[in-house]
């Protein structure tokens, strides 16, 4: 479709906003940004970089899907990020090659599947 320029934000449901914020800010390094108070549901907006945002939406009864649905973060050094996360007792798969790069997987506190992707 003409006019699409990229992803502006991705929204994920979480069942514990405080735990999600601690994970995404303290462990993954995202930054809290302003969010309109008139949205009608609890949540928070985070900045991944200058272009992409992650929107956390509160859902008291959220259960993460057991499918391959996931959010992928680009990283410069997947091995280094995995080491850092493991130093904080976060479970992460061993990085592996996929032809177009290296990747590893983990889950956020709500169970959402996340990918760390280091393109080659």
Instruction: Output the pTM of the full model.
Output: 0.92
pLDDT at residue number 1: 59
Kindly indicate the confidence band of residue 120, based on its pLDDT and cuts at 50, 70 and 90. confident
Query: What's the rounded mean pLDDT across residues 99-111?
Result: 95
**Surface-to-core class of residue 91, CB atoms within 10 Å of its CB (0-12 exposed, 13-18 middle, 19+ buried):** exposed
The rounded distance, in Å, linking the Cα atoms of 62 and 81 is: 27
Question: What DSSP element (H or E) covers 78?
Answer: helix 78-87
Number of helices (H) and strands (E) in the chain: give both, helices first.
2, 8
pLDDT at residue number 8: 92
Query: What's the rounded mean pLDDT across residues 55-84?
Result: 95
Question: Which of 107, 8, 105, 108 lies closest to 55, judged by CA?
Answer: 8
């Amino acid at each position: 479709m003409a006019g699409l320029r990229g992803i502006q934000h991705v929204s994920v449901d979480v069942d514990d906003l405080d735990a999600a914020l601690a994970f995404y800010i303290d462990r993954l390094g995202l930054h809290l940004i302003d969010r309109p108070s008139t949205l009608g549901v609890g949540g928070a907006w985070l900045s991944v970089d200058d272009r992409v945002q992650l929107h956390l939406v509160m859902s008291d009864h959220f259960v993460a899907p057991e499918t391959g649905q996931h959010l992928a973060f680009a990283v410069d050094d997947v091995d280094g990020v995995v080491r850092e996360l493991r130093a904080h007792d976060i479970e992460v798969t061993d990085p592996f090659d996929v032809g177009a790069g290296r990747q590893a997987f983990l889950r956020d506190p709500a169970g959402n599947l996340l990918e760390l992707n280091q393109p080659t």
